[in-house]
Amino acid sequence: MSNASWSPPDASSVGSTLETFILEGMFQRPAATGAFTSLLNQIALAAKIITTRVRRAGLADVLGYTGDENVQGERVQKLDVIANDTLIASLRRRGHCAGLATEELVDPVFFANATGGYLVVADPLDGSSNIDVNISIGTIFGILRYERSAGPPTPQSFLRAGRELAAAGYVIYGSSTVLVLTTGKGVHGFTWDPSAGEFFLSHENIRCPEKGNSYSINEGNSAYYTEGVKRWNAWLKQPDKADGRPYSHRYVGSLVADAHRTLMKGGIFAYPADKKSPRGKLRLLYEASPMAFIFEAAGGKATTGRERVLDVVPEELHQRVPLVIGSLKDVEAYERIVGEIDD
């Protein structure tokens, strides 16, 4: 089979590991101190450990439930605990992280030895319902600056709007493991190379296409949708060649997987408020805000249906919020159609 059009990859991009990319200030953080770089490396280290556990899950008694329930009343998967413990252990080192709040912890943990000025929020393993069936899952995280002069951090220190994030990202454990990261300016993807033990730059300057042709929502909940969401859902399925409708329906049931596809290819993901989940299902602090921060940095948009997700100030650590993210034009269409009906 002749492959005349193929040419070897440009060697110059090889060598852009996550660490060098940050150190070379590619995240446009003139004031970047070693602390931020080191903190990101600790999160990357946790992702490396989690990806090895996920990839061997079927071989090492880590599938299934622990028998416990988390603060959300959901049954806890063994890998949820492993991912949570791995993040805690990794962030406890080096002292840059003063505290960590996660989906699996009722209250945040604080690191007494910390000297650094950062707090981390995380969903250690997102898409739990897909773990046992080998479908893509992920880790979602956000980084907040914390002024130590304000005294030791408390649970309230985490209750800050997403617009205050210093950085956010996710790791998708899919056909390959990719870490997507932003500090608000430029979104970049790094693919894990197990043979080198490193994340290498693979997707530089990711931009979410202005408009897509797929939508992602749990249609099994359609009986509970508001009238506005029902109208929007029907509109997406109406043929309109000029507008590229009907859209294709894509839903994995792992936020990280559905969001990653939407970020890369465009379109829209929605987990709106409905009669069954009047505040939506996804958690503001460590799912919706980090995702909104990434989509806005990539030129996309993120709304609750009523307001910008990044402007919502959490009242509680595990507060839920409606989440609609995606291509600018597709989210604007959602806001217009749903907004006309749902007051």
Q: Which residues bind ligand FBP (CB under 6 A)?
A: 74, 103, 123, 126-129, 218, 253-255, 271, 281
Whichever of 236 and 255 has its CB closer to ligand FBP, that residue is 255
Name every residue whose Cβ is closer than 8 Å to that of residue 8 and which is 6 or more positions away in sequence: none
Report the alpha-carbon distance of residue 46 to residue 249 in Å, rounded: 33
Pairing of strands 214-216, 248-249: parallel
Whichever of 127 and 162 has its CB closer to ligand FBP, that residue is 127
In the complex, what is the shortest distance from the CB of residue 127 to ligand FBP, in angstroms, rounded to a whole number? 4
Whichever of 87 and 98 has its CB closer to ligand FBP, that residue is 87
Whichever of 98 and 255 has its CB closer to ligand FBP, that residue is 255
Whichever of 17 and 84 has its CB closer to ligand FBP, that residue is 84
Q: Which H helix or E strand runs over 167?
A: strand 165-173
> Buried (b) or exposed (e) across 16-29, using 16+ Cβ within 10 A?
bbbbebbeeebbeb
- C-beta separation of 293 from 182 below 8 A: yes
Best CA proximity match to 206, nearest among 182, 224, 230: 182
Whichever of 201 and 268 has its CB closer to ligand FBP, that residue is 268
Report the alpha-carbon distance of residue 149 to residue 147 in Å, rounded: 5
- C-beta separation of 279 from 290 below 8 A: no
Best CA proximity match to 213, nearest among 90, 342, 326: 326
Name every residue whose Cβ is closer than 8 Å to that of residue 1 and which is 6 or more positions away in sequence: none
In the complex, what is the shortest distance from the CB of residue 265 to ligand FBP, in angstroms, rounded to a whole number? 17
> Buried (b) or exposed (e) across 90-115, using 16+ Cβ within 10 A?
bbbebbbbbbbbbbbbeebebbeebe
Would you tell me how many other CB atoms lie within 10 Å of the CB of residue 52? 13
Whichever of 33 and 222 has its CB closer to ligand FBP, that residue is 222
Best CA proximity match to 266, nearest among 241, 288, 244: 244
Whichever of 17 and 177 has its CB closer to ligand FBP, that residue is 177
Best CA proximity match to 145, nearest among 106, 184, 197: 184
